[in-house]
Amino acid sequence: MTSVALLPASGTGRRAPYENWRPAIVGVSVLAMVKNGRLLLVQFHDGSYMLPTANVEDGQSPEEAAQGALGGLVPGLPVERQVAVDRVQMRRRQVFSHVVVTEALTAPEVRALTYRDPRADIQVLPTARALAVLPPRAQLRAVLGLQAASIGAVLHLNDGQISRVEDVRPRSALSYT
């Protein structure tokens, strides 16, 4: 006689485990600082704002991918370093978002920049206002990225929660007082 496995009763809260059978999505968000305490954002024609972004292709570093987000500067975008990595588990795949910060840009450098998507324009806003207009997840990445940049760290986020802080300052810059 064949037996039939009993299914859990509905409403017991059991869920199927996540399966990452789809390839991960890997991207980069650029925290482009502009002199005098401003931040560069992208504004779409529907009025929504976001940080400049690009895909990270196989074999490419987040810093190299950031060069593809904003073009127009002859020496390239002055990317300083990576400041955060946010891993989000979706239903069937993981999404990794690297956050890199640039050196402070001047007004002429900003005027020369172009964004890769023609449906959006580059806007420069005071940092507090820029953070206020970003969607919640982008706002979290931007705030934590700015904090990590100021303390010389790389933050590792897991679904928006800090899971690890990596100190990237050279040993000579650390004070042992």
Considering only 84-88, 90-94, 126-130, 172-176, which range has the smallest mean pLDDT? 172-176
Strands (DSSP E) found in 47-140? 49-50, 53-55, 70-71, 79-89, 94-102, 114-115, 120-126
In a domain, residue 2? The reply is no
pLDDT at 125 over 50: yes
Whole-number Å distance between alpha carbons of 42 and 54: 12
What is the band of 16 on the pLDDT scale with cuts at 50, 70, 90?
A: low
Whole-number Å distance between alpha carbons of 154 and 148: 6
- Read off the pLDDT of residues 42-90 as tens digits, 9 standing for 90 and up: 999 999 999 999 999 999 999 999 998 998 888 889 999 999 999 998 8
In a domain, residue 63? The reply is yes
Domain range for 66 is 25-166
CB–CB of 52/42 below 8 Å?
Answer: yes
CB–CB of 141/86 below 8 Å?
Answer: yes
CATH at 129: 3.90.79.10
In a domain, residue 137? The reply is yes
CB–CB of 114/69 below 8 Å?
Answer: no
pTM of this prediction exceeds 0.75: yes
In a domain, residue 18? The reply is no
Q: Which residues contact 55 (CB under 8 A, 6 or more apart)?
A: 26, 27, 28, 65, 68
In a domain, residue 132? The reply is yes
In a domain, residue 10? The reply is no
pLDDT at 13: 54
CA-based R_g, the chain, Å: 20
In a domain, residue 3? The reply is no
Q: What is the mean pLDDT of residues 122-144?
A: 95
In a domain, residue 131? The reply is yes
Q: What's the number of domains the chain is made of?
A: 1
Helix%, strand%, coil% for the chain, nearest 5: 25, 40, 40
